Structure 1
Amino acid sequence: MCRQAASAPGWLAEGAMSNNDWTPERIAALMALWSEELPTSEIGRRLGITKNAVIGKVHRLGLPKRRQSPKQDLEPADVIRLDNLSADMCSWPVGNPSDEGFHFCGGPKVLGKPYCAKHCAVAYIKPAKVRGNG
C-alpha cells in the first residue's frame, strides 16, 4: 500500500487550509478579531477554520503576542527568608536559591515534619497498601 507523503504537493488533511485560502478579506477579519483578543478557538469558529490554522497564520503574519493573564500569587503575602524562618514554619523552598526573590513557604508545619500539609502532600509518597496472602 502506497501512502502519499505529507510534504507532497497537493496534500492537505481534510478541512486544512492552504495559504491560497487566506484572502485579503479573511486576513483583515483575522487581524480585527485578533485585536479584540478573542480566544483562538473563537476566531477559528467565526472564520470556519481550526484554532491551529489561526495560530499558524497569526505567527506567519507576525501579529503582536497577547498579554498574558497575570499569574495569581499562591504564596503568602509575607515573604519568609532564611533569617526569618522559625522552627514552627514550613521550610519548603520557593524559587531558585540563586535568585533574589528566593524564599520559603513559611506556613504552619505539620507536627514532626519540616513542611506544611500542602507541601507534605508533594514531598512524601504514601506507602502502598500491602496485601495479605490469605
Structure 2
Amino acid sequence: MSWTDERVELLKRLWNQGLSASQIAGELGAGVTRNAVIGKVHRLGLSGRAKSPAPAAARPRKATRAPSHPMSHGAHQGGGGGGGVRGNLALSSKPAVAPSPMVYVAPTPRPEVEVVVPMSERVTIMELRESMCRWPHGDPTSPEFRFCGAKSPPGTPYCGYHAQIAYQPSVDRRKKAAPRA
C-alpha cells in the first residue's frame, strides 16, 4: 500500500468531514487499515476536525433514583436532600460537600497458634524424619542450624503453624505486599 497524492487528498477531506479512522480506511480500501490512517493523520499533523455526524436518535440517559434511606448518600452531606447525583452529571449550582475519605480497615487476622519448639527438640537434617516439620531455623551455614521438628500431618512438610506461614492464599500475600498510604 502506498500513499498517493489522491489518497492523501481523500484522507484529508474525509478527516475534515469528521469520519473515523475506520470509516476512512473503508473508503480508501485496497489494504488501508485503521492504524495506517491514524499514522498518516499523525504524520500530516491533521488535528482540528469537524464533529462526527450525530446518530439519528440519541439514546436517552437512565434516570437516577433518589436515595431511599434517610442516611444514604446525599442526605448526610449537608447539601439539603436534593438528590445524590455528583460529578460530571451534576447540574446543581451549589457545590456538594465531599464525604469523608474512606479508611481501609484491615480484616481481623485469623488466630495463629504460635508453636514454640524448644531448642532441644529442634532437629538436624540427619535427625529429620517423614512426620517432622521441615521449617528451617537459623542460618544454614552455622552449626546451630536446625529444623522445627514438630509433628506434621501425614503428607505435608510442615506443622500446622508453619503451614499457615508457608501456604498463604494469594489474596493475603498481595495485601501484605501492597504499600500502605
Instruction: Give the TM interval when normalised to the shorter protein.
Output: 0.3 to 0.5
**Which of 1 and 2 has higher RCO (CA within 8 Å, sep 6+)?**
1
Q: TM-score, length-normalised on structure 2? A: 0.31
Q: TM-score, length-normalised on structure 1? A: 0.40
- Of structures 1 and 2, the larger Rg is shown by 2
